[in-house]
């Protein structure tokens, strides 16, 4: 089952169950996907956005919710912060399990050796390959630091 179908099925279930928070979050996700579908059609991709793009949308939405929760906490609005965290958890249900730092380091080492990367000039190539292989699972900020360390040691 595709990610888009899972989201649609969950939206229908939330509607039937009367779960207002879940329903509004899933509607927000669906609206973001539809916006991206419209943009894709403008680029002559009639099928709409792919699962990798949907994962990127979900990651962005989860990150936005986390940032909003922090902002609300700093402002003393714990009720709103908790609501944002709840929405972030609903969004994360559709994302694959994120990689931990050990897995990220192993993946970075593997890609560096496979591409025979020898210095910082190869960083873009390595990061591009990591993004292709591990979209939606890897924290690329953390991966970038590991790749940079590996490539600086190789030079």
- Please give the pLDDT value at position 154: 56
Give the DSSP per-residue string, 108-130: HHHHHHHTT--SGGGHHHHHHHH
Q: Within 13 Å and on the Cβ side, how many CA atoms surround 80?
A: 11
Q: What is the pLDDT of residue 124?
A: 86
Bigger pLDDT: 31 vs 52: 31
pLDDT at 144 over 90: no
Helix (H) / strand (E) element for 1: namely none
What domains can be seen in the chain, in order of their start residue? 3-92 (1.10.1510.10), 101-154 (1.10.10.410)
Residues in the chain: 155
Going by pLDDT thresholds of 50, 70 and 90, the confidence category of residue 14 is very high
- Supply the angle between the helices 78-92 and 51-74 in degrees, to the nearest 10: 160
């Amino acid at each position: 089952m595709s990610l888009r179908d899972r989201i649609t099925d969950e939206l229908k279930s939330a509607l039937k169950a009367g779960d207002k928070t879940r329903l509004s979050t899933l509607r927000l996700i669906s609206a973001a996907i539809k916006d991206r579908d419209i943009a894709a059609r403008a680029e002559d991709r009639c099928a709409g956005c792919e699962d990798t793009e949907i994962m990127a949308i979900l990651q962005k939405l989860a990150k936005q919710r986390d940032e909003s929760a922090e902002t609300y906490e700093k402002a003393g609005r714990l009720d709103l912060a908790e609501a944002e965290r709840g929405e972030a958890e609903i969004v994360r249900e559709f994302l694959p399990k994120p990689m931990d730092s050990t897995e990220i380091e192993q993946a970075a080492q593997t890609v560096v050796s496979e591409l025979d990367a020898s210095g910082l000039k190869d960083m873009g190539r390595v990061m591009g390959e990591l993004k292709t292989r591990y979209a939606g699972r890897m924290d690329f900020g953390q991966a970038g630091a590991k790749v940079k360390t590996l490539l600086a040691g190789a030079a």
